[in-house]
């Protein structure tokens, strides 16, 4: 009994490690392909809805975006929204072949504004999903 429990726990642990590794590898390789496509074909179809966001530490992340005037809106599905929690964070953007500088912050306390922007940014998300399942809204003020 004890031996079978140890074997079961070991197998489950190995499966979890394997899945995490596979997802990390896929995410990194998929992102690299999207980054290459955006740089090589800035007038392409993907560039209409995806930009490159460069963090202060040099990390580069392709993200869906919505630009309205001097503001760019991004939905952060991962934990990276925390980098902008307190606002005033300088970022670089690569939008349709053009480099931009901006100041980013996470919208933490305005659910109506967030919902309004997400209706334009992500119009295909099912309306029945609860708000807590949605991403955090990042607002970037472009420095023109």
pLDDT reported for residue 130: 65
pLDDT reported for residue 129: 66
Q: Once rounded to an integer, what is the mean pLDDT over residues 39-67? A: 94
Listed by start position, the domains of the chain span 41-142
pLDDT reported for residue 94: 97
CB count in 10 Å sphere of residue 67: 15
pLDDT reported for residue 117: 95
Q: Which residues pair with 90 in a beta bridge?
A: 103
Confidence band, pLDDT 50/70/90 cuts, at residue 25: very low
Q: Once rounded to an integer, what is the mean pLDDT over residues 13-23? A: 49
Q: Which tokens hold the place of 48?
A: 């209409």
Q: Name the more confident of 126 and 103.
A: 103
pLDDT reported for residue 112: 93
> Cβ distance 10 to 35 under 8 Å?
no
Q: Once rounded to an integer, what is the mean pLDDT over residues 64-89? A: 93
CATH class of 41-142: mainly beta
Confidence band, pLDDT 50/70/90 cuts, at residue 135: confident
Residue 101, classed as helix, strand or coil, is strand
Q: Name the more confident of 32 and 54.
A: 54
pLDDT reported for residue 24: 39
Q: Which of 33, 88, 41, 26 is nearest to 60 (CA)?
A: 33
Task: Name residues whose C-beta falls within 8 Å of residue 105's C-beta, 6 or more positions apart in sequence.
Answer: 84, 85, 86, 87, 88, 89, 138, 139
Confidence band, pLDDT 50/70/90 cuts, at residue 88: very high
Q: Which tokens hold the place of 58?
A: 């040099």
Distance between first and last Cα of the chain: 68
Burial (Cβ within 10 Å: 0-12, 13-18, ≥19) of residue 49: exposed
Residue 2, classed as helix, strand or coil, is helix
> Cβ distance 103 to 143 under 8 Å?
yes
Burial (Cβ within 10 Å: 0-12, 13-18, ≥19) of residue 43: exposed
pLDDT reported for residue 125: 72
């Amino acid at each position: 009994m004890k031996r079978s429990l140890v074997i079961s726990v070991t197998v489950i642990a190995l499966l979890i490690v394997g899945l995490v590794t596979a997802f990390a590898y896929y995410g990194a390789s998929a992102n690299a392909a999207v980054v290459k496509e955006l740089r090589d074909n800035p007038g392409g179809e993907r560039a209409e809805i995806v930009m490159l966001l460069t963090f202060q530490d040099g990390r580069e992340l392709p993200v869906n975006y919505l630009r309205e005037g001097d503001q760019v809106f991004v939905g952060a599905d991962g934990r990276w929204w925390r980098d902008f929690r307190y606002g005033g964070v300088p970022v670089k953007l690569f939008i349709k072949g053009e480099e931009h500088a901006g100041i980013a912050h996470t919208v933490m306390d305005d659910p109506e504004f967030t919902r309004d922007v997400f209706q334009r940014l992500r119009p295909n998300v099912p309306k029945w999903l609860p708000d807590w399942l949605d991403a955090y809204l990042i607002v970037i003020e472009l420095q023109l």
